[in-house]
Structure 1
Amino acid sequence: MAGKWEWENATAGAVAGFATVAIMHPLDVIRTRFQVNDGRLSNLPSYKNTPHALFTIARYEAFTRLFLDHPFLGDFFFFFYSGAKKRYARDREDKLSPGLHLAAAAEAGALVSFCTNPVWLIKTRLQLQNPLHQTRQYSGVYDALKTILKEEGWTALYRGIWPSLFLVSHGAIQFTAYEELRKFLVDFKSDRAKNKGVEVLNSVDYTILGGSSKVAAILFTYPIQVVRSRLQQRPNTDGVPRYADSFHVVKDTARFEGVRGFYKGITANLLKNVPASAVTFVVYENVLKVFRLTKRKD
């Protein structure tokens, strides 16, 4: 039975991730632009708030800018997370402790970080492109990759890797909270229904679980996202990166912007990621339900 559900989890995660991107990507663009704007000399436009940013980008850069330049990537997290949980469990009926859920999520997050950091770097740079850029803009994902390798070398693709590894805690916090809240809700509803053999959770439950677990993760880890985004900016016209390393970002942000600097763009982030997390888990759980029903019929 080992490995039985790996491809189902990978497929469910990919479908959930695609649905999330399609619905929430405009807010991702806005969040990234807020994160990197440190209020000093910058080739980025300034926005008063999230609605103003949405309106300004749609008006001056074309509405399609809110949706373009997102290199699609299947959601590997669910695949790695499912595999890690199975290794930690003695058999598929065992319930994992919160500590093991945390370890499984951390392991999955670290693997995803190493695999996807180049993708996130390219995505961040494409999202930051605007009419104020002094250098030639990237025409797309392939051109960005080619230009980065030519001008900065392959190591540039791993700028921001250390904050990315620290961001493993984001997924760990979210999935641990989700699993524990889910366990509590299943037990609570099963006791009330007096029938533990029936699937008691529905899409409303998954919406609440996905959204609430995401809020907890965002509040704890958002400053690390800001550090990563600032590190992954395109270098200045002289080819020198705006920030040398993570410590440089933290020092300058704290000095010139204070605590608020580490939470720039959090409104857009919450508006994007809390509903997105709800969508992701609703789709994920319901796709798995379909697979289970199909298996039973077979």
Structure 2
Amino acid sequence: MRGGGGYYGESSSSTTRDFVCHAGAGAAAGAIAATFVCPLDVIKTRLQVHGLPPGHQGSVIITSLRNITEAEGLRGLYRGLSPTIIALLPNWAVYFTVYERLKGMLHKNDDGSDQLGTGANMIAAAGAGIATSVTTNPLWVVKTRLQTQGMRPGVVPYRSVLSALSRITREEGLRGLYSGIVPSLMGISHVAIQFPAYEKLKSFMAKRDNTTVDQLSPGRFAVASSISKVVASIITYPHEVVRSRLQEQGHAKNLEARYNGLIDCVKKVYHSEGFPGFYRGCATNLLRTTPAAVITFTSYEMMHRFLERVLPPDTKHSHHSHLGPGGEGNKVGGKAGSSQQSHHTQSSKTTHVVPLRNTE
């Protein structure tokens, strides 16, 4: 805070405790959500790449679930979960580190208020998303391959995440590990839409309930995360179809069936399937991402609060960052009005970030 030290001043530089709280909460929330919605994620990816399941009658989801369990057992519904779990901690660590650095840089040029504007938040979120996508793309390629392997005849399946990384590197080189990176980077717009919308919705709900963001109920977090996720998903969904097809095509033995990059993929999908082709699996995706967002954001907020309670504060930051509302009020003279105002200011400064690789 200008003129007195605050969240974007001294204490905006992330402490080890801040990092552990954010990283631990983010990884735990992501693992819970990924495990819960993995079967729908498998179905969505297969719809994006191969279209409707054979023998389709009635519900696509029910037919897909039946086909997968009959052919591959329960294990088939959780293909690709391992690389997702492995990617969570580096995904979070990179996102949080870059996001906080960008917030600090952007705040120096902001209008003097304690909170960043929507535009600055979008820039910070987009920059962090780009760094995260570049760092973790090989694991997402493996995830897509594991989820769709077995659907192409004559393809030797990967035995594990390490086996997949090794074979892709040996057979396709760096290009294989970074297949789909261009649409992934385009998908940063998903985060740039979702995150600012989520923050604005939380602020709106807190103001309407005459409380602070820190005191919102889990139900409020669920509503805010659901609305922001649905809007962002619908607007940006076509890039997911293109990304999945580019990531999966390493399985294709027929060179004529391969895409020669982003533009070629877009042209072939449009010519063969029309505009609806870019929304293959969108309904399933919404059924997957909406509860995933609710679980991720809500469990993140709850886990973050828990870690902040149990982890000891960093000594050099404790005076500025970890005084309770009452303690802070006593410091400034014990006036009720000052205490309430200080509490509101401190709460409104703390903005938690959940890195969702378009995430998924």
* C-alpha contact 2:230 2:290 (8 A) present in aligned 1: yes
Task: Give the 5 Å matches for 1:150-161.
Answer: 150-161=170-181
2:153 partner letter:
H
Alpha-carbon deviations, 1:136-158, whole Å to 9, x = none? 11111111111112211122111
CA contact (8 A) 1:235 1:242 kept: no
| 1:129 is the counterpart of 2:144 | no
Kept in 2, the 8 Å contact 1:69–1:127? The answer is yes
Counterparts of 1:259-278 in structure 2, within 5 Å, are 259-278=275-294
TM-aligned CA distance change 1:125 to 1:241, over 3 Å = farther
RMSD over aligned Cα, in angstroms?
Answer: 2.4
Greater CA radius of gyration, 1 or 2? 2
- Find the aligned partners of 1:243 and 1:80 in 2 and give their Cα distance: 33
Q: Which moved more, 1:47-56 or 1:249-258?
A: 47-56
Q: 1:229 aligns with which of 238, 244, 251?
A: 244
Structure 1 residue 64: deviation in Å?
A: 1.2
The answer to whether structure 1 residue 258 and structure 2 residue 274 are counterparts is yes
- CA gap of 1:144–1:291, structure 2 versus 1, over 3 A, is closer
Aligned residue in 2 for 1:163: 183
CA gap 1:131/1:103 in 2 versus in 1, 3 angstroms: closer
Report if the CA contact (8 A) 2:42-2:79 is conserved.
no
1:1-298 correspondence runs (5 A): 1=11, 2-4=13-15, 5-37=18-50, 47=56, 49-70=60-81, 71=83, 72=85, 73-74=87-88, 75-76=91-92, 77-90=95-108, 94-130=114-150, 132-190=152-210, 199-233=214-248, 234-238=250-254, 242-294=258-310, 295=313
**Normalised TM-score (structure 2):** 0.74
Contact 2:152–2:252, Cα closer than 8 Å, also in 1: no
Unaligned runs of 5+ in 1: none
- Provide the C-alpha distance between the structure 1 equivalents of 2:157 and 2:224, rounded to a whole number of angstroms: 41
Distance, in Å, in 2 between the alignment partners of 1:3 and 1:20 is: 26
Q: 1:131 to 1:62 in 2, by over 3 A?
A: farther
- DSSP-derived class of the 2:258 partner: coil
| Corresponding residue pairs, total | 289
* Aligned equivalents of 2:119, 2:56: Cα separation in 1: 42
1:25 and 1:109 map into 2 onto residues whose CA distance is 22
Whole-angstrom CA distance in 1 between matches of 2:152 and 2:63: 18
Instruction: Check the 8 A contact 2:237/2:282 in 1, yes or no.
Output: yes
Task: Give the partner amino acid of 1:21.
Answer: A
Measure how far apart 1:249 and its partner are: 1.1
Superposition TM-score, scaled by structure 1 size? 0.89
